[in-house]
Amino acid sequence: MTALGQSIRRSAIGLGLFAVITGGTIAVTQVLTADRIDRQARKAEASALFEIIPEDRHDNDLLKSTVTLPADPLLGTSKPVHAWRATKSGKATGVILPVVAQDGYSGAIHLLVGIDRTGHILGVRVTQHHETPGLGDKIEVRKTPWVTMFTGQSLGNPPAQQWKVAKDGGAFDQFTGATITPRAVVKAVKHALMYFSSHRDLLLQSATHSANGSLEHDHKNQS
């Protein structure tokens, strides 16, 4: 083999090894990063649950008191999700629904919407989003109290046709320079209330504890 051929061969082998090592490093990084992001998301979710329904307003283990809900356009999901039920003295006092606003400015916005048994909002928290820093991220309660304005609202207060941002003729303020993000959140919260209204009995019905402490229901009632 000529010197040129050997040089080309060595270069090809080097490039191949580099590609393998780089690809492996990227794959490992993605796995580790995805796991860390997932843990952070679960942590934020758990924290938000108790912000929406404080521990003094229920006497059950809220983290384990889950209800599996099928995919539904009103929840913004294409797969089953878990909702949480708060109870006191064995009576359901409210539920927390996970809702995804798919039409945020920079992608999906994940929210938790707490609703009491009368259909009034207990609280709303954003758990994941990719909105623009300084503009769309004002939906985070640690940035501004904007999402707290939903507390106490219902489908009738304000009237259903006013569940829009002010720019669209609705009752809810938007951010200066950012309308798409609050518009998506308002619509998602309204959809959560609509879902609760349509499935209230299932969401609040008495539950039986399974062996692992989760809550199980007869989903035949949904058909």
Q: What are the sequence ranges of the domains in the chain?
A: 53-222
Strands lying side by side in the sheet with 66-69: 66-69, 81-88, 91-104, 107-116, 121-128
Model pLDDT, residue 26: 60
Alpha-carbon distance of 123 to 145, in angstroms, equals 11
Alpha-carbon distance of 219 to 42, in angstroms, equals 26
The answer to whether the beta carbons of residues 124 and 101 sit under 8 Å apart is no
Report pTM.
0.75
Q: What is the pLDDT along the chain (223 residues), one digit of tens a residue?
A: 566 556 666 666 666 666 666 655 565 555 555 556 555 556 667 788 999 998 888 899 988 899 999 999 999 999 999 999 999 988 899 999 999 999 999 999 999 999 999 999 999 999 999 999 998 999 999 999 999 999 999 999 999 899 999 999 999 999 988 899 999 999 999 999 999 999 999 899 854 443 333 334 433 333 3
Model pLDDT, residue 221: 36
Model pLDDT, residue 215: 36
Model pLDDT, residue 98: 96
Q: Which is nearest to 141 in space by CA: 123, 165, 125?
A: 125
Model pLDDT, residue 48: 84
Cis peptide bond upstream of 158, omega within 30: yes
DSSP letter for each residue of 64-117: T-EEEE---GGGT-SS-EEEEEEEETTEEEEEEEEEEEEEETTEEEEEEEEEET
Half-sphere exposure of 193 (CA within 13 A, CB side): 25
